[in-house]
Structure 1
Amino acid sequence: MFDQDSCLERLLARHDDAVVVEAVPGRPALIRRDELLVAPQDAPAVADLVRRWHDSGEDDHGVHRMRLRPAARVNVCELASQVAGDRRHRELAVAPNHLVQGQPLWWSGPADLARPTAPVPAPRPRPAAREMTVAVLDTGLSPHPWYDGADWYAGQRDDVAEVLDADLDCELDAQAGHGTFIAGVVLRYAPSARIRAVRVLGGDGVGDELDVVRALARLAAWGRADVVNLSLGCHTFDDRPSPVLSRVLAQLRSSPRRPVVVACAGNTGGERPFWPAAAKPVISVAALDTRQGRAERAWFSNYGWWVDACAPGVDVASCFVRFGEFDGYARWSGTSFAAPVVAGLIAGLAAQEDVTAAEAARRVLDPAGAHTLPDLGVVVRPPARDEVQREPAGA
């Protein structure tokens, strides 16, 4: 386990434009200093309202980033609330640029590191009645025998390569391999799926809302994703959904295939809403600990009224990077790894039954045919033959 104060200290040292805000005591969030995100159609109105502090701005794929003058020392959260309309109904889509993190790791909650494990049997692709594409917004992909020969990987390999040791300290970065691991979990339950990797996190597991919104807007324009996996997220400064992210999620859901979006519920061990998982159009997934044959909430997993489903998320095994003691396979715990179980099962069912991702999601999450847990939603358990294999004795 990490010392969380040290983890936060390292994060702030590595991202010197990041700042901790606490609009509500005891409910911290991380944002980029002196930045506002605005829906493009609202940018002219917002620019006029903040012209006293405005420095520069640019449009890029569904979002306008507005930089404020550092010398003005603006409270970005207060300004966003005032400009949006500090009422129940916000009239303008404007928000601070929140930092997001992959979820074996969160600076105010539990953290977990990947551990080497014995090789995991490769998924066996089956003939599919429907082609399914799962978009994985994460740290990227590293080469692995599970998919090295796949055409979907060859077409994006150079663009999405993971950065394993960005600080050149000869140690694997804290979340390097996160995207590779998640892609492997998806493939275990949807072996015929095509993975569309989009790199939005660094090897330290840190990214921001700006890059997530850009990536979702690009997916909406691309129009070929069936399922989107987001094993990342954050708390917002006011515990409300970012209106900028909400608009791009609506745009994505309106794209030709109407993709299903699955996101992890977060690892802070509480019921505070975690975004984007808590957003209405998103399937939020908590983590179960199933090691003793029971299905109970993993001690680190978030929970609450906003959680839709839960799946195994402790001691999950998947493909991984080759670096140091790692030889291509690992075990890891976190809601990060429960989400792709659900995403993979949805994609796998849709591929085999020739139904849409939305119909497959309805079946996978049908409470009438499954057990439910309070504040955890529908219990999603993979078929017994597909359960994560345990390490052999002595491994």
Structure 2
Amino acid sequence: MLDKIKEEITVQPLLARVIRNISKGVLKNGYRFECSERNVEIESAIKRKFDNLLMESGYEENEFLQETLMNLIKYSNVFVKPLRSGTTNKLIGVLNMQNKGFSVSKAIGTGIAKQYKFERKGVISGYVQTKADKAKLFNAPYDIWHCAFSKETDEVFGMPIWVSVIPIIKKYNYLISSSIDSYSDQSIEQTIFRVGLTKNGNVKPVTPESFNSLKNQLQHNQGEDIITDVPVDPVTVSKTYTSPDKILDVLSTQVIAGLFTSESQLGRSGAGRQDSETQQSNTDGIVLEFQKTLENFLNKTMIKEIAKELYPLEYLKNPVKIKFIPAFNDTERLEKHAVFKFQGGIIDLDEAREICGHTTQINSSKTNYELYQKTEIDGTTQNTNSPANQHTSGTGTTKKSKNQ
């Protein structure tokens, strides 16, 4: 199944584009490390250790996350092997493993794997496979970390979400290809000359000499009229093109739904900005699901081991987690709603800041109001209450009108 999905991603442009869009959406805004109770020192230390582990593993920061995420999006499964010190068993690196070749060796029920078996499948050019390469066992979660996207409770592996839509895409592409061929064939016409048959349907015998003479004239005719005493009934045959628009519309709807995307994202719609943003918000849902899945996977494995190594006591009461920053549209909508509730007097400033993700204490003296707006407002108020640049009555400075 993995080989089939990989093949379809290669030949199906719509599927490849959607996968890239989801990947870009998950990592677009970056990530941050956060404690339950904000502690900049601890968060910075975890971030440095995280970066160092990836560097020691031979990965760039985004390279590791991108490879892990692409395995999760394409195949709904990720296998990462933790590399540990031989003396202290501490985490010293990580290695992204291929999906193909893993199976369950020991399990609790049908949904919890305790041990995985890995058998390398396929031939590497120039490498001779030995008996030691044929099968390796990994105890979970110490020897191997496994993450599955949208898996059933009674299953160990996640089912790739593209399984249901790939047959529909193939039908969609086949119908388009057949329709193009049929449309091209409609311009081809073929004329059949029924010799010895009149237009009324009467049959008259024709000698071989007359038949061959007529055949020769027709084959060498350059568009000129032909005079013959042989009865001929010419019939023109051509293909009739039938547009498959209705079927294509149905398949198109199924493809868009199965790809968790929209027409505007596939470049098929000239929708306005508001309509495009509405369609984009629907697509952001699947992006958010992959963000949360990748967050949970890293927090339960790599980040947990880093935090427990650096701050074993602090981690129990103030755990550190990696959080991917959500899409701008979702963040903007959340912040606007928090400001609206604050202005309506439903929540206070601290609650509004907490909703927006700002958990540190605000420095009131450095807000925009204190630095800029307060002076402007005070000046405007003073100018309104005591307009020194205007003529007022009762002071003798009022300028007389022309009528006085």
**Higher strand content, 1 or 2:** 1
**Higher helix content, 1 or 2:** 2
Q: TM-score, normalised by structure 1?
A: 0.22
Q: TM-score, normalised by structure 2?
A: 0.21
Q: Highest CA radius of gyration, 1 or 2?
A: 2
